[in-house]
Structure 1
Amino acid sequence: MGTFKIEGGHQLKGSIQPQGAKNEALQILCAVLLTPELVTINNIPDIVDVNKLISLLRKLGVKIEKIGHGSYTFQADNLNLDYLESDEFKVDGRGLRGSIMIVGPLLARFGKGYIPKPGGDKIGRRRLDTHFEGLINLGAKFRYSREEQFYGVEADKLKGTYMLLEEASVTGTANIVMAAVLAEGKTTIYNAACEPYLQQLCKMLNRMGAKISGVGSNMLIIDGVETLGGTDHTMLPDMIEIGSWIGLAAMTKSELTITNVSWDDLGVIPNVFRKLGITIEREGDNIHIPAHTNGYEIQSFIDGSILTISDAPWPGFTPDLLSIILVVATQARGSVLVHQKMFESRLFFVDKLIDMGAKIILCDPHRATVIGHDYKSTLKATTMTSPDIRAGVSLLIAALSAKGTSTIQNIEQIDRGYERIDERLRAIGAKIERIN
């Protein structure tokens, strides 16, 4: 088990470029299964979760070649479908939440898709109902082995239909879209997710020959086609990393420039951080954050009531950044209520911040009130364990701002979502050491 040793209390300075988007990569990589032709993908992040999915695709028989840093070619022209029912696959598929998105493409192209119950973050229940209900609506037969926790869908031919999704699930929408593009007839998906990464998937599929309209809205209309071809695709920068670096700059009173952020795809993220009092300046396609030497002050609502920041489906605020918001608020002037609606275990890491001296009231599994210190009292170094990707980075930001030397264990969780994070932080002046 790896550990980070962090000497906190140092100002950072310089520029940092966000990696390719993790959540986009997990969708885009699964889409290569829809065609026997060559697909080239650029800006793939070199992180544990993505590398696990690439390994799984390779075992499935996809021909994969690395052609440069973050650039690969994929060709799924001779797949080993027997792997899907092997004991090895039942182990490999469990190790990655994103493996669920191979089901839709495989079902559409080969008439069958299987997956063991996927793993991932320990942040509470994450239902798969939207995925499978959507595929059943397209004509698939569903089966589930409770003993092995193994899911399967099969169909001779998928047929387009109208469906209203119970929840605007990003991965669920992606799975259904990838199945529907090769279905017979027209599919309408209402209450579809419309995140930039889902838009990227739809644009890629359209370049491959799919007919998807309504991209960017919550109603997607898909006219099925018989086959798809190859394409080139470049992934967006990771908006969660961008938000993480904004929080890092504020907490450490550092002047940082975040480069090539694709501003137009950030939605409300910059404005939510501005509500915490953080100065965010646009310089072309870069974000510049000046050193907040005098701190930052949380805004109130117009009627004077306490600011509440909560997650919501896009274009609302992404739940993946609420952990960062919570940490940043610990040193602000004022108070904020953080409301995490989606996952019931995601706020449980706040006990580590309380141990460091933060003033946080955990109201219930979904809500926490943060009373900021305004730097009158710095956080204190401690030993922590990373429970999931986003909480792990939040604790890392807290440690970099804290007085003294902290250790964070189970950093494999952080590595699942952040590429060479220790090296990149050292390049801007952080005192961080990886100990294996």
Structure 2
Amino acid sequence: MDNPARLPILRGMEYDSDIVIVGGGLNGPALALALAGSGHSVTVIDALSTGARQTDDFDGRAYALALASVRLLDNIGIWSRVADRSQPMLEIKVSDGRAGEGPSPFFLHFDHAEIEEGPMGHMLEDRYLRRAFLEAMDGAPLVTQVNDIVVAQAASTQGATVTLVSGKTVSGRVLIGSDGRASGTATRAGIKRTGWGYGQTALVAAIEHELPHNGIAHQFFMPPGPLAILPLPGNVSSIVWSETDETAAQFATLSDEEFMAVLRPRFGDFLGQISLRGKRFTYPLGLTVANSFIADRLVLIGDAAHGMHPIAGQGLNAGLRDVGALAQVIDEATHRGEDIGAADVLARYQQWRRFDTATLAMATDLTNRLFSNDNPLLRAARDLGMGALNTMPGLRRKFIREAAGLTGDLPALMRG
């Protein structure tokens, strides 16, 4: 029986835009601006109103933008809008231990001075990045923004059409799903997902501290899950604290004072006195990868294609690699005179991104499983491994370049 959410599409269709993007969070607008910059018309559809997406409230989210991602944002005209709100990450320190006992003497230390390109990346709050995208799209003549909900989609040999809850339709040569892990675009196309939950929840907040962080990011692995302490401008850091679902649910109900009382033994005193800044938020953690990144006239990017553990801070960076790769595939196909929505064109994007994404997802999964336990043999092995790696400059430099997003087959927009 046909899926009622899939509608017939007429031959000889006229397009509202070259490309239709469902999802106006971060990856969708980034792709829209990249494509518009090379002359393509784009419609971006998002269920939230522009006002709701422009809010200045801090929702706990901040991103560790790798150097390669910063380059892409610069190339599409975004970085100049947010650079003064960002914090360079000059060092990364990775350690292992238990709450209240401090870190193991064996640790990893990555210093940006070991590579020539500059800081490994920058920290930036979601609210500033989101607003910059909205403002940039407002000023882009080839980008049309629509606030509505997609309820159906269809594809033919000529193009794709989506139907909105308002009854309107929007058509394009290719449809892009950038609508998150529960992507309706993927579901309506019949694309299934592979993944699992970790039994962990991330507690996210901003913390003010007495001493300067000096641009150093910390990743402290504890048996229930890691605590990331990520530098923001001023004496402020963002924390992403992974705990078991049960414990996180208990901590989420605590008062701010009680929450800080359980955080302090884990956070330590290396930044002096600490206090909560703003609200706290929780996000369940899991791994989910679409079984295919493409379908007829359809492509998935960002979390719609892959969602992974935040342990290495690579979620948005992976999405922006999708953006750079897809923009390049479409641009090259256009210059060759090809149909940008043809199956062989979209297959180039999938071939480019799928293996890299699967490798990254498995690496984050393995790292989380290796470190999120209290097995004494595994603890000894990983501590000795970190200590040994820290004494190998060549290998350490490779890890630094990986963290900066400078390895692999980089899209042109990320190549400096």
TM-score bin (small chain): under 0.3
What TM-score, normalized to structure 1?
0.27
What TM-score, normalized to structure 2?
0.27
Higher strand share: 2
